[in-house]
Chains A and B, each alone.
Chain A
């Protein structure tokens, strides 16, 4: 019992810290692409400390406060289900559909917290974010179905174990197509260009985030950090092989080695997202929906059909 609680806390701290480093990596790599110097890597930690130490707190009622906690809770719960080397605590129960569902709930939580504030920009941004969420469901569904058809199981842990013997998922053609479609969906889930219509700075004043300040925004930054970690971890687990290292004798070294390999894979996924995000401008919401229902759907559906054969 104590051991499980200790593992949970350690996973949480590790995920938060590495998530903040990922946010810092996003900012500094984007800055270097623009030929600037960029902030230091630990900048998001300073941002969060500053936001949490604001002295006045503006609140619009119960739903406003509750939506944020709801979003953070859903992300933490999703984190517990994803296999992280050998120390995840609920990995036997984490199947693909559950984790995908839990990773989409934070957006809903932020939506109803934002809409309850009454700001028109927040309402507009929430509508667009919900439309984006609707647009990404179709390629996502086909990618998950392709995975399930290929491996014959929905459980994430068994997919990871199957990849240890059979090689990475993306070496097979149907799963390569599914991975490409899922990578495009990841761009929208991170909120990066070209699909950052929901968090469009300057256009709708940051969309749903316009009314959050102080402590609410600090909690949202923590949620963003953990969500980045969880989404990249999920992708590396189901498509890039995960990491289950049994080479060393002591379990601690095994854990550290698997965490290290997972970190490298996650940073690779993140760098692809940053590079795509640095080049493209923003799609409007109808262009984004039309895009998602055309090419990624075709690619993912082809992958699903090929996987079933």
Chain B
């Protein structure tokens, strides 16, 4: 009936001016989120709002270093979001490991596991730098080059291979079942 592709400029304008952020701010950069959202460098005038439910959010901020434990949760949350979705990484730790380049517990190169649109350099980047990155992602949405979700869908085997190499096959079921024997034992009584 109606060809929705005619409305693409309107949709891209709406998408770029109302990005909702998943409130998943772990890692060192989580401390730079409150200055962005409060009065001084107000983020809400661009329409960005933190939203606790991943089903309604588009933008995923990976602020800082990522451990394998966190990465499992990030992958699960990322796959809960509906398309189109964008990922922005803060700091030098997602890029090549940062200060934790020789640590046994920090992911060195996060683009192997989750597709990333924009990386902001710094350790932690100041709010002005983050606003610069947000500007860039808004430009990319307008041009139509922010297609990390398409990359994830098309190259899913590659991402899955990397994730399985790191965690071992069947990591979702194992992670979901890990705590069950301990919870059951607690219910039967202490000691």
Contacts and interface: CB of A to CB of B under 8 A. Distances in A.
Interface string B73-99: 000000001111000000000000000
Contacts of B82: 54-58, 213-214
Interface residues of B, number: 28
Interface string A71-112: 000000000000000000000000000000000000000000
A206 B52 CA distance: 7
A214 B53 CA distance: 12
Contact of A46 (B47, B56, B58): B47
Contacts of A56: 82-83
B55 to A, nearest CB: 3
Contacts of B148: none
Among A54, A58, A210, A211, residue most surrounded by chain B Cβ atoms (within 10 Å): A54
B42 A36 contact: yes
A201 B44 CA distance: 16
B56 A51 contact: yes
A49 interface: yes
Contact of B55 (A38, A49, A53, A211): A211
B177 interface: no
A31 B39 CA distance: 9
Interface in A33-50: 34-40, 43, 46-47, 49-50
A153 interface: no
Among A58, A205, A209, A213, residue most surrounded by chain B Cβ atoms (within 10 Å): A213
Which interface class (under 10, 10 to 19, 20 to 34, 35 or more) fits A?
20 to 34
Nearest to B43: A36
Nearest to A204: B52
Interface in B15-66: 15, 17-18, 20, 23, 38-39, 42, 44-47, 51-53, 55-56, 58
B44 A46 contact: no
B52 A49 contact: no
Contacts of A205: 52-53
B45 A37 contact: yes
Given A34-B39, A50-B14, A56-B83, A206 B53 contact: yes
Interface of A: 27, 31, 34-40, 43, 46-47, 49-51, 53-58, 201-202, 205-206, 209-214, 217
